[in-house]
Amino acid sequence: MYDILQQDVMYVPGVGPQRKKLLKEELDIHTYGDLLGYFPYKHIDRTRIYRISELTTDMPFVQVQGRILSFEVFPINPRKKRVVAHFGDGTDVLDLVWFQNAKYIIERLDTDTEYIVFGRPGVFNHRIQIVHPEIEKASDMQLTAMSMQPHYHTTERMKKAGLTSRALERIIRSLLDKLTTTIPETLPSFITEKLHLVSRDEALRNIHYPRSADEVQKATMRLKFEELFFIQLNILRYASDKRRKRNGYVFHRIGHAFNTFFFHHLPFSLTEAQKRVLREIRNDTLSGSQMNRLLQGDVGSGKTIVALMAMLMAIDNGFQAAIMAPTEILAEQHAETLSALLEGLDVRVELLTGIVKGKRRKEILNDLAAGHIHILVGTHAIIEDNVTFLRLGMAIIDEQHRFGVAQRARLWSKSANPPHILVMTATPIPRTLAMTLYGDLDVSVIDELPPGRKPIVTLHKYDSQLSDLYRGIQQQIHEGRQAYIVFPLIKESEKMDLKNLEEGYEHVKEAFPQNTVVKVHGQMKPVEKEAEMQRFVKGEAQILVSTTVIEVGVNVPNASVMVIFEAQRFGLAQLHQLRGRVGRGADQSFCLLVTPYKLSKDTRRRIDIMCDTNDGFRIAEADLKLRGPGDMEGTQQSGMMFDLKIANIARDGLIVQMAREQAKIIIDNDPDCNAPAYQMLWQRMKQLKKDNINWGAIS
C-alpha cells in the first residue's frame, strides 16, 4: 500500500500534467502521500445556514440560502465594473459584491435558482454585504460538503491558475474517493491503544473531511503525535548510538586544582542550581561515555564558574581544556576572568585569537602541544589545523548558536577520544524546543541568580519623553555609573522610519556635553571597534552608543543603564540579551525600552512581558508562542529548522513530552533497532529518510 501513496500526483483526478507541475513547484507535492500530507490550516463550520435577518458584522463566516432578486452594475473605470446582486431569503435582503469578472458573474448566475452563499458579512451604506462570496447551486451541494469545510494555503501563482483552496479541496476529495482500501498504519497498536489515538486512515480522511469539530480534534491529535514521535525517535536513536559507541575519558579524581579553587578562590558560595549542574557534569565524566551537555543559564547566572570547575576536573585528571567563544571580545573577557579567578593556582591560561600573531602565537602553539598550557581560550582560531593539544579532555563552547555544526565537530579531532563537550548558552530555550532542537544533548539549567544580584528594573518610555529619560541617565552617570544606548540600524532604511545611529550618536553627544560618548557598530574595522569598546570597558567613556553588536560578549559591571531605541523593532530574545548587558554588579540597574506611542497589539505584549519579568525562560516561552520556532533567536544558525506540517512546538509541548516518553520506551527496549515488535517503526523511519525529511539533530 505504501506504493500507492508513492504514486505520481498527476494521476489524481483533477490534476494532470499542468497542475502537477504547479503543485511540485509551489508546494513541493509530488505523490499521493505528499498531497494527503498537505493539511488544511483551518476548518469552517458549514453545517448551519443562517437567516439573513440574523446576520451581524461581527460574525466571521456565515452561510445563507436564497435567491438573487436583481443585479446592478456600476462602472469603476473604462475597463472595470462592480457587480452587486441583491440576494434575499424571505427574512431580509443582503448585497453580494464582486469587483472582478463582471461578465462571467452575470452569465453564470440567474434569478431563478436557489443558491447557497458563503462568506464574511460586512456593511456598506448601512446594508449588510458579502464581498466576493463563494456561491453554489443549492441542488449541487452534497450533504457531506455541508460540514466542516477545510481551507488550504495557496500561492498567488496557484490562484491565478485556478488552483484555489476550493480547487485543492476537490482534488483531495477525489484522491480519498480513489483510495478505497485502508491507508496503512505507521504506529503499532500498543501505542495507538495506550494513547487513545485514531488510526492513520481515519486521521487522514477526517483532517481533510471532518463531519464535526470533535473529528478535527482527534485527527489533529493523532497526526501531531505521529510527526513529533518520529522526530523524537530519530533523535533518541542517534543519541543512544552515540553514547554506546563513543567512549569518553573517565575523570576518576577530584584533585588539587578543583579543591583549592573551591575552598580558597571561589568568590561567592555556589547556588543550589550551580551545585546541581556540577553533579550532573561529574556523573557524565565518570560514566565512560563522552559528555554532550547543554548548559542553559540566564545572563549573570554563573555559567562561567561552572565551566571553569568542569575544566578543573579535567586538569586534575591530567587533561587540557579549551573554551571557544564567538567573538574576540568575549574570548578576551573569558581569558581575563579565568586568569583572575585562578590567580595563585598552578593553572596556566592562554588566549588564542586572530590578533595573536608571530612569535607569541608560535610560543602558544608549541606550549599547547607540549601540554604546558592547561586552559586555552579562543575563537574559531582554536580549531585551525595547526592547533594541537597534548591531551584535550574538556571543550566548552560558549554561545553555541554562533558556531556551525562542522566547526564544533572539528574540536573532536583535537583528541584521540572525543573530549567531553559542554555547550553553553545565555539564550534560554524553552523545554519543548530544547527537547527537539538539542534532543541529543543532555540539558542542564541554572535557574537562579547568585546572591546579591538585584533584578533589573525595566521601564517602557515613549520617544516624546526623552528629556525625562536623559535626566535619569545623567543621574546614574553622576553617581559614577555608565550607560549603553542601542539603535537598531547603522544607516537609514528607505522602507522604515528608523533612528539613524550616526544621527543618534550626534544627538546623544549634544545631550551629554560633559561626558565622553563612544560608538560601536558592525561596519567598523575590528581594531577600531575594539579600541572604542575598551574605552568604555576601562571607564574612560561614560556612554556607549551602539547597534546590537554588544548583544553578546560585553561585561562591564559598572554599566547600570541600557536604553534601547525603537524597541518595537526587536524580538523578545534580543531585548532580553541586550538587557543582560547591565545588572552585572551590585548596583540597581535599569533597562529603558523607547518606542513611538502607536504600537501593534503584539508589540505591546512583547514590551509588557519585558517590563513584567526578568526570567529568561518565561520570556523564551512567550517568544516561542509569539514568533514560532523558526524565527527564534539561534534556531536558524543551529542547523535544524522545523519543517513541521501540523505540529507546533510552541503550543504542543505536552504532545512533544508524550512523544518523547514513547520514543524513549522504544529505544530502551530496542537499542539496536532490530526487534520484530518495532519493525513497523523502523520501516517508517527508513521511508522518512528516503523522502529527505529533515530529522537532523545537533551534536
**What is the per-residue pLDDT for 617?**
75
Using CA atoms in the order 432, 438, 443, 445, what is the torsion angle rounded to 10 degrees? -70
> In this structure, are residues 258 and 309 in contact, taking their beta carbons and an 8 Å threshold?
yes
Phi, psi dihedrals of residue 317, rounded to the nearest 5°? -105, 20
Q: Distance between CA atoms of 515 and 431, rounded to whole angstroms?
A: 44
Helix/strand/coil for 296:
strand
Q: What is the mean pLDDT of residues 253-259?
A: 94
pLDDT at 140 over 80: no
Q: For residue 17, give the H/E element and its range.
A: helix 16-27
Tell the residue number behind the cell numbers 569518553, with chain if given.
248
pLDDT at 689: 76
Residue 579 is placed in which grid cell?
538587557
pTM, rounded to two decimals: 0.64
The edge-to-edge listing of strands for the beta sheet with 457-462 is: 457-462, 590-595, 559-564, 482-486, 543-546, 517-520
- Determine the 3-state secondary structure of 118 from DSSP: strand
Is 26 in contact with 155 (CB distance < 8 Å)? Answer: yes
Instruction: List the strands of the sheet with 121-124, edge to edge.
Output: 121-124, 127-131, 93-98, 80-88, 62-77, 114-119, 134-137
| Most confident range, picked from 75-84, 96-105, 172-181 | 172-181
CA distance 323 to 55: 66
**Beta strand pairing call for 134-137 and 375-378:** unpaired
pLDDT digits (tens, 9 = 90+) for 666-675: 999 999 889 9
Q: What is the pLDDT of residues 28-44, one digit of tens each?
A: 999 999 999 999 988 88
**End-to-end alpha carbon distance in the chain:** 36
pLDDT digits (tens, 9 = 90+) for 276-307: 999 999 999 999 888 988 898 877 788 999 99
Tell me: pLDDT of 521 over 50: yes
CB-CB contact of 325 with 378 (8 Å) = yes
d(CA 556, CA 540): 12
pLDDT at 1: 43
Which comes out higher in pLDDT, residue 58 or 460?
A: 460
pLDDT digits (tens, 9 = 90+) for 339-376: 999 999 999 999 999 888 899 999 999 999 999 999 99
Average pLDDT score over residue span 576-587:
83
Find the DSSP H helices in 68-164: 102-108, 156-160
Inform me whether the pLDDT recorded for 650 exceeds 70: no
The closest alpha carbon to 434, from 465, 401, 410, belongs to: 401
Look at residue 263 in the predicted model and tell me its pLDDT. 93
**What percentage of the chain carries pLDDT values higher than 90?**
49
Q: Would you state the pLDDT for residue 553?
A: 54
Q: What angle do CA 362, 364, 369 make, to 5 degrees?
A: 95
Look at residue 641 and tell me whether its pLDDT is greater than 50. no
Distance of CA 478 to the CA centre of its chain: 41
Q: Which three three-digit cell numbers place residue 440?
A: 541529543
Query: Of 265, 260, 256, 303, nearest to 281 (Cα)?
Result: 303
Supply the angle between the helices 213-245 and 679-690 in degrees, to the nearest 10: 90
The yes-or-no verdict on residue 47 having pLDDT over 80 is: no
- Least confident among 518-527, 585-594, 603-612: 518-527
Burial 487-509 (b: 16+ CB within 10 A, else e): bbbbeeeeeeebbbbeebbeebe
Q: Are 224 and 650 in contact (CB under 8 A)?
A: no
**More reliable by pLDDT, 175 or 619:** 175
> Which of 139-143, 209-213, 341-345, 592-596 is the least confident region?
139-143
Average pLDDT over residues 442-451: 80
pLDDT at 18 over 70: yes
pLDDT of residue 556: 85
Distance CA 573, CA 485 (A): 18
pLDDT for 230: 93
C-alpha cell at 362: 608560535
The whole-chain average pLDDT of the chain stands at 86
Residue 453 has pLDDT above 80, yes or no: no
Quickly tell me which residue has 567512549 as its cell: 247
- The proportion of the chain whose per-residue pLDDT surpasses 70, expressed as a percent, equals 89
Per-residue pLDDT at 275 exceeds 80: yes
Are 355 and 349 within 8 A, CB to CB? Answer: no
Q: Residue 32: what pLDDT?
A: 94
Of 554 and 445, the one with more pLDDT: 445
Q: Kindly report, residue by residue over 189-216, the tens digit of the pLDDT.
A: 999 999 999 999 999 999 999 988 889 9
- Given a cut of 60, whether residue 629 has pLDDT beyond it is no
**How far is residue 652's CA from residue 644's CA, in Å, rounded to a whole number?**
12
**pLDDT of 635 strictly over 50:** no
Checking 194-203 for CB contacts under 8 A at 24+ apart, the result is: 195/225, 195/658, 195/662, 197/221, 197/222, 197/225, 198/222, 200/226
pLDDT of res. 634:
42
d(CA 166, CA 149): 9
State the pLDDT confidence band at 695, using cuts at 50, 70 and 90.
very low
The confidence score (pLDDT) of residue 149 equals 84
Cβ atoms of 53 and 91 within 8 Å: the answer is yes
- What region, left, alpha or beta, does residue 251 occupy, with left being phi > 0 and alpha being psi -120 to 50 degrees? beta
pLDDT for 497 beyond 90: no
Query: Mean pLDDT lowest for which of 18-22, 266-270, 286-290, 409-413?
Result: 409-413
